[in-house]
Amino acid sequence: MTGLLWEIFNILKEVLNRTIKLPELLLTLVGFRSTKKLRLRVVILRDERGVPLATNEEALPAYEEARRILARTAGVTVEPAGWRVVTAPHGAPKAALDVRCTDGAWQDDLGQAGAFFRDLMAKSTGGTLVGYGAPLTVFVVRSMSTHNGCSLGPAADYVTVEAKTLRGTRRLLAHEVAHACGLWHTKNPANLMFPRGPGEELTHMQAAVLRTSRHVTHF
């Protein structure tokens, strides 16, 4: 399946799941909220020489920070998609190591980078056709053109974060995962979706939107 078909298919799955979960979104807004889960894996890429861009020890704190933030603000338990953090088995192409965001992330997904990412994504154990419970994969890349992290939202089951920023900004991983679950930027510095800063709060509406993503399930 080509990159464009993947994007279209993912968006259709997102629309279907959002429609089915509309009653749950409304119930969440009025205070009914049981614990849900999201399956997540971090994949550290290797450069052209086969050298990992980061170590497991450098990536794990960001993973654990995402677990803490999402559990506290949205009632979502982050669970490993097989493993919490893994290193790619071989060197990545330059297109996947040095990626774009607002100036070309869609084009990257349609090309060599997207194909490489899809080949290494955590695979779903069920609900593949409708996308229910699809795990998310975070790829640790070498550099990014305009941001430190990037997500295509509902069009992809992965996000990218820059290795050097991930080491110093643990919140970055949670921020990008929230984008993949349907959240957009806000102007509130205390909010997780503020582009920069230490904020980690979510509004009731944001929590409801995140909880009704196709990646977040009861089972």
Start-to-end CA distance of the chain, whole Å, equals: 28
Q: Name all domains of the chain by residue range, CATH numbers in brackets.
A: 3-214 (3.40.390.10)
Handedness of CA 203, 41, 130, 219 (dihedral sign): negative
pTM: 0.94
Q: In whole numbers, what is the pLDDT of the chain averaged over residues? A: 93
70-119: per-residue pLDDT in tens?
A: 999 999 999 999 999 999 999 999 999 999 999 999 999 999 999 999 99
d(CA 160, CA 104): 13
149-151 and 216-217 beta bridge pairing = unpaired
124-158: per-residue pLDDT in tens?
A: 655 566 778 899 999 999 999 999 999 999 899 99
Give 116-145 as a DSSP string: HHHHHSPPPSS-TTTTTT--EEEEEESEES
Q: What's the pLDDT score for residue 21?
A: 93
Q: What's the pLDDT score for residue 219?
A: 79
